[in-house]
Amino acid sequence: MTVNLEVAEGVGTLRLDRPPMNALDVATQDRLKELAEEATRREDVRAVVIYGGEKVFAAGADIKEMQAMDHTAMVLRARALQDAFTAVASIPKPVVAAVTGYALGGGCELALCADYRIAGENAKLGQPEILLGLIPGAGGTQRLPRLIGPSKAKDLIFTGRMVKADEALALGLVDRVVPAGEVYEQAHAWAARLAQGPALALRAAKEAVDAGLETDIDTGLTVERNWFAGLFATEDRERGMRSFVEEGPGKAKFL
Protein backbone atom coordinates (compact mmCIF):
# COMPACT_ATOMS: atom_id res chain seq x y z
CA MET A 1 0.00 0.00 0.00
CA THR A 2 1.19 3.53 -0.76
CA VAL A 3 -0.19 4.87 2.55
CA ASN A 4 -0.48 2.97 5.82
CA LEU A 5 -2.15 3.71 9.13
CA GLU A 6 -0.17 2.45 12.12
CA VAL A 7 -1.75 2.86 15.57
CA ALA A 8 0.03 2.69 18.92
CA GLU A 9 -0.81 4.23 22.29
CA GLY A 10 -3.59 6.39 20.91
CA VAL A 11 -1.49 7.84 18.07
CA GLY A 12 -2.24 6.97 14.47
CA THR A 13 0.62 7.48 12.02
CA LEU A 14 -0.42 8.08 8.42
CA ARG A 15 2.75 6.89 6.72
CA LEU A 16 3.36 7.64 3.05
CA ASP A 17 5.23 4.76 1.44
CA ARG A 18 5.75 5.25 -2.27
CA PRO A 19 9.51 5.29 -2.86
CA PRO A 20 11.60 7.03 -3.82
CA MET A 21 9.86 10.42 -3.44
CA ASN A 22 6.32 9.63 -2.20
CA ALA A 23 4.80 11.12 -5.35
CA LEU A 24 1.08 11.55 -4.77
CA ASP A 25 -0.51 9.70 -7.66
CA VAL A 26 -4.24 9.03 -7.91
CA ALA A 27 -4.03 5.73 -6.05
CA THR A 28 -2.11 7.38 -3.21
CA GLN A 29 -4.61 10.23 -3.01
CA ASP A 30 -7.51 7.79 -2.78
CA ARG A 31 -5.74 5.70 -0.16
CA LEU A 32 -4.96 8.82 1.86
CA LYS A 33 -8.64 9.76 1.89
CA GLU A 34 -9.65 6.24 2.92
CA LEU A 35 -7.22 6.15 5.84
CA ALA A 36 -7.96 9.71 6.97
CA GLU A 37 -11.62 8.73 7.22
CA GLU A 38 -10.63 5.58 9.11
CA ALA A 39 -8.55 7.65 11.55
CA THR A 40 -11.58 9.88 12.05
CA ARG A 41 -13.82 6.93 12.91
CA ARG A 42 -11.49 4.91 15.11
CA GLU A 43 -11.84 5.54 18.82
CA ASP A 44 -8.34 4.14 19.48
CA VAL A 45 -6.89 6.95 17.34
CA ARG A 46 -6.87 10.09 19.46
CA ALA A 47 -4.17 12.05 17.60
CA VAL A 48 -2.48 11.68 14.20
CA VAL A 49 1.02 12.05 12.75
CA ILE A 50 1.52 12.46 8.99
CA TYR A 51 4.95 11.16 8.01
CA GLY A 52 6.77 10.37 4.79
CA GLY A 53 9.82 8.66 6.21
CA GLU A 54 13.34 9.74 7.12
CA LYS A 55 14.35 11.08 3.70
CA VAL A 56 11.32 12.76 2.14
CA PHE A 57 7.84 13.87 3.13
CA ALA A 58 6.29 14.05 -0.35
CA ALA A 59 7.77 15.61 -3.45
CA GLY A 60 4.41 16.44 -5.03
CA ALA A 61 2.07 14.96 -7.57
CA ASP A 62 3.02 12.24 -10.02
CA ILE A 63 3.86 14.52 -12.96
CA LYS A 64 4.04 11.70 -15.50
CA GLU A 65 0.53 10.63 -14.53
CA MET A 66 -0.74 14.20 -14.70
CA GLN A 67 0.89 14.84 -18.06
CA ALA A 68 -1.31 12.17 -19.58
CA MET A 69 -4.50 13.89 -18.39
CA ASP A 70 -6.38 16.33 -20.59
CA HIS A 71 -8.81 19.00 -19.44
CA THR A 72 -11.76 16.64 -19.27
CA ALA A 73 -9.85 14.11 -17.22
CA MET A 74 -8.74 16.73 -14.70
CA VAL A 75 -12.21 18.23 -14.42
CA LEU A 76 -13.35 14.76 -13.36
CA ARG A 77 -10.38 14.27 -11.01
CA ALA A 78 -9.83 17.67 -9.39
CA ARG A 79 -12.64 17.34 -6.85
CA ALA A 80 -11.44 13.92 -5.73
CA LEU A 81 -7.94 15.36 -5.33
CA GLN A 82 -9.20 18.12 -3.07
CA ASP A 83 -11.49 15.74 -1.19
CA ALA A 84 -8.52 13.54 -0.27
CA PHE A 85 -6.70 16.44 1.34
CA THR A 86 -9.86 17.81 2.94
CA ALA A 87 -10.37 14.42 4.57
CA VAL A 88 -7.02 14.90 6.30
CA ALA A 89 -7.77 18.51 7.26
CA SER A 90 -11.15 17.41 8.62
CA ILE A 91 -9.85 14.76 11.02
CA PRO A 92 -11.47 15.99 14.28
CA LYS A 93 -8.38 15.19 16.34
CA PRO A 94 -4.97 16.85 16.72
CA VAL A 95 -2.86 16.28 13.59
CA VAL A 96 0.86 16.98 13.25
CA ALA A 97 2.94 16.79 10.08
CA ALA A 98 6.46 15.39 10.53
CA VAL A 99 8.31 16.92 7.58
CA THR A 100 11.66 15.62 6.38
CA GLY A 101 13.33 16.44 3.07
CA TYR A 102 11.11 17.69 0.28
CA ALA A 103 7.53 18.78 0.88
CA LEU A 104 6.67 20.28 -2.49
CA GLY A 105 3.43 20.87 -4.35
CA GLY A 106 0.96 18.33 -3.07
CA GLY A 107 3.43 17.44 -0.33
CA CYS A 108 3.40 20.99 0.97
CA GLU A 109 -0.39 21.06 0.64
CA LEU A 110 -0.61 17.87 2.68
CA ALA A 111 1.49 19.44 5.45
CA LEU A 112 -0.88 22.43 5.37
CA CYS A 113 -3.73 20.08 6.30
CA ALA A 114 -2.15 19.44 9.71
CA ASP A 115 -2.76 21.50 12.84
CA TYR A 116 0.97 21.72 13.59
CA ARG A 117 4.11 21.17 11.54
CA ILE A 118 7.48 19.94 12.81
CA ALA A 119 10.23 20.09 10.19
CA GLY A 120 13.70 18.65 10.03
CA GLU A 121 16.68 20.88 9.38
CA ASN A 122 16.87 19.23 5.95
CA ALA A 123 13.31 20.16 4.98
CA LYS A 124 12.51 22.12 1.84
CA LEU A 125 8.96 23.30 1.23
CA GLY A 126 7.26 25.05 -1.67
CA GLN A 127 4.48 25.28 -4.21
CA PRO A 128 6.27 24.92 -7.56
CA GLU A 129 3.15 24.35 -9.69
CA ILE A 130 3.61 27.71 -11.48
CA LEU A 131 6.77 26.27 -13.04
CA LEU A 132 4.54 23.72 -14.78
CA GLY A 133 2.12 26.37 -16.00
CA LEU A 134 -0.34 25.48 -13.23
CA ILE A 135 -1.48 26.64 -9.80
CA PRO A 136 -1.79 24.54 -6.64
CA GLY A 137 -4.87 22.34 -6.89
CA ALA A 138 -5.07 20.53 -3.56
CA GLY A 139 -5.76 23.52 -1.35
CA GLY A 140 -2.52 25.50 -1.60
CA THR A 141 -4.12 28.74 -2.80
CA GLN A 142 -6.53 28.60 0.15
CA ARG A 143 -4.73 27.04 3.12
CA LEU A 144 -1.34 28.68 2.56
CA PRO A 145 -2.57 32.32 2.69
CA ARG A 146 -4.72 31.49 5.70
CA LEU A 147 -1.61 30.21 7.44
CA ILE A 148 1.10 32.74 6.49
CA GLY A 149 -0.86 35.65 5.01
CA PRO A 150 -1.73 36.49 1.40
CA SER A 151 1.40 38.39 0.34
CA LYS A 152 3.85 35.77 1.60
CA ALA A 153 1.70 33.02 0.09
CA LYS A 154 1.58 34.81 -3.24
CA ASP A 155 5.37 35.10 -3.25
CA LEU A 156 5.73 31.35 -2.87
CA ILE A 157 2.95 30.53 -5.33
CA PHE A 158 3.95 33.13 -7.96
CA THR A 159 7.65 32.24 -7.95
CA GLY A 160 7.43 28.52 -7.25
CA ARG A 161 10.55 28.81 -5.13
CA MET A 162 11.50 26.37 -2.38
CA VAL A 163 12.21 27.56 1.14
CA LYS A 164 14.53 25.83 3.57
CA ALA A 165 13.48 24.96 7.09
CA ASP A 166 14.76 28.16 8.71
CA GLU A 167 12.88 30.40 6.29
CA ALA A 168 9.78 28.22 6.55
CA LEU A 169 9.91 28.75 10.31
CA ALA A 170 10.28 32.50 9.92
CA LEU A 171 7.33 32.58 7.51
CA GLY A 172 5.15 30.56 9.87
CA LEU A 173 4.93 27.73 7.35
CA VAL A 174 6.30 25.33 9.97
CA ASP A 175 6.08 25.61 13.75
CA ARG A 176 9.27 23.93 14.92
CA VAL A 177 12.59 22.94 13.34
CA VAL A 178 14.56 20.04 14.82
CA PRO A 179 17.45 17.80 13.73
CA ALA A 180 16.31 15.61 10.84
CA GLY A 181 16.73 12.42 12.85
CA GLU A 182 14.38 13.67 15.56
CA VAL A 183 11.42 14.75 13.43
CA TYR A 184 9.21 11.71 13.85
CA GLU A 185 10.12 11.26 17.51
CA GLN A 186 9.16 14.82 18.37
CA ALA A 187 6.01 14.75 16.25
CA HIS A 188 4.93 11.51 17.89
CA ALA A 189 5.60 12.98 21.34
CA TRP A 190 3.44 16.00 20.49
CA ALA A 191 0.63 13.72 19.35
CA ALA A 192 1.03 11.28 22.25
CA ARG A 193 0.70 14.06 24.80
CA LEU A 194 -2.56 15.23 23.24
CA ALA A 195 -3.80 11.65 22.89
CA GLN A 196 -3.95 11.62 26.70
CA GLY A 197 -6.17 14.70 26.75
CA PRO A 198 -9.94 15.19 26.72
CA ALA A 199 -10.97 14.01 23.26
CA LEU A 200 -14.24 15.92 23.02
CA ALA A 201 -12.73 19.18 24.24
CA LEU A 202 -9.87 18.84 21.75
CA ARG A 203 -12.35 18.17 18.97
CA ALA A 204 -14.38 21.20 20.05
CA ALA A 205 -11.28 23.40 20.15
CA LYS A 206 -10.21 22.34 16.67
CA GLU A 207 -13.63 22.76 15.12
CA ALA A 208 -14.19 26.12 16.80
CA VAL A 209 -10.88 27.51 15.58
CA ASP A 210 -11.26 26.15 12.05
CA ALA A 211 -14.90 27.23 11.70
CA GLY A 212 -14.13 30.66 13.13
CA LEU A 213 -11.43 31.27 10.54
CA GLU A 214 -14.02 30.81 7.81
CA THR A 215 -16.57 33.29 9.09
CA ASP A 216 -17.10 36.62 10.85
CA ILE A 217 -16.27 37.14 14.53
CA ASP A 218 -19.89 37.10 15.73
CA THR A 219 -20.60 33.77 14.04
CA GLY A 220 -17.31 32.42 15.34
CA LEU A 221 -18.22 33.43 18.88
CA THR A 222 -21.53 31.62 18.49
CA VAL A 223 -19.70 28.46 17.45
CA GLU A 224 -17.39 28.82 20.45
CA ARG A 225 -20.26 29.47 22.84
CA ASN A 226 -22.20 26.44 21.69
CA TRP A 227 -19.20 24.13 21.99
CA PHE A 228 -18.22 25.62 25.37
CA ALA A 229 -21.68 25.09 26.85
CA GLY A 230 -22.02 21.65 25.27
CA LEU A 231 -18.87 20.38 26.95
CA PHE A 232 -20.57 20.83 30.32
CA ALA A 233 -22.51 17.68 29.45
CA THR A 234 -19.38 15.54 29.15
CA GLU A 235 -17.70 13.19 31.58
CA ASP A 236 -14.32 14.70 30.72
CA ARG A 237 -15.48 18.11 31.95
CA GLU A 238 -16.67 16.56 35.22
CA ARG A 239 -13.39 14.70 35.63
CA GLY A 240 -11.26 17.73 34.80
CA MET A 241 -13.02 20.10 37.18
CA ARG A 242 -13.20 17.55 39.99
CA SER A 243 -9.48 16.90 39.68
CA PHE A 244 -8.74 20.63 39.72
CA VAL A 245 -10.74 21.16 42.91
CA GLU A 246 -9.43 18.07 44.71
CA GLU A 247 -5.82 17.79 43.43
CA GLY A 248 -4.93 21.11 41.84
CA PRO A 249 -4.43 22.15 38.20
CA GLY A 250 -3.02 19.94 35.46
CA LYS A 251 -3.45 16.55 37.15
CA ALA A 252 -6.64 15.27 35.54
CA LYS A 253 -6.45 11.95 33.66
CA PHE A 254 -8.89 11.57 30.81
CA LEU A 255 -8.34 7.94 29.74
- The set of catalytic residues is 109, 129
- Through-space distance between the first and last CA atoms of the chain, rounded to whole angstroms: 32
Beta strands per DSSP E along 17-91:
47-51
Q: What are phi and psi of 153, to 5 degrees?
A: -65, -40
Q: Are 157 and 130 in contact (CB under 8 A)?
A: yes
Run of H or E including 106: helix 106-112
Are residues 45 and 12 in contact, defined by beta-carbon separation less than 8 angstroms?
A: yes
Query: CA distances (Å), 254 to each of 17, 108, 218, in order?
Result: 33, 34, 32
CA quadruple 162, 164, 170, 176: dihedral, nearest 10? 130
